[in-house]
Copies of this chain bind each other. A is one copy, B any other.
């Protein structure tokens, strides 16, 4: 979803786009978009102005934004579930397995991010444009 927002922003390169417009594009509520934009601002991927006639725009060119950056900005927690209950400390496995698995999962996640780094926002956009009959200009 974050990628979608940024892709629309990339379309309007340089122009400031309001959260209302972005929300209409991805068919959701402006507040949802703003919450997303807050995370993207923190990651310095977008710049957002406040007053009338303002809105958001990319803070760099789409070629300089990759999906790993977006992933890190938005997905704050790990993709692996952490059990709600504490493991049984009387069990030798239960006591220490978490620390071990955390290492393994950190490695796996960094492998995932390294793969995402290979795709830039610009790459996504050209792929979208190339993928068939979606050539109509934006209507809004």
Q: Which A residues are within 8 Å of any B CB, using their own CB?
A: 1, 3-4, 7-8, 11, 24-28, 67, 79, 81, 83, 85-88, 90-97, 99-101, 103-104, 107-109, 111-112, 114-116, 119, 124-125, 127-128, 131-132, 134-140
A112 touching B108, Cβ below 8 Å: yes
Q: How many copies does the complex hold?
A: 2
Main secondary structure of the interface of A (DSSP, over half): helix
Within 8 Å CB of A111, what residues of B?
111-112, 114-115
Do the beta carbons of B139 and A97 come within 8 Å of each other? Answer: no
Q: Is the CB of B27 within 8 A of A97?
A: no
Report the nearest B residue to A123, measured CB to CB. B104
Complex formed: what's the CA distance from A83 to B87 in Å?
Answer: 33
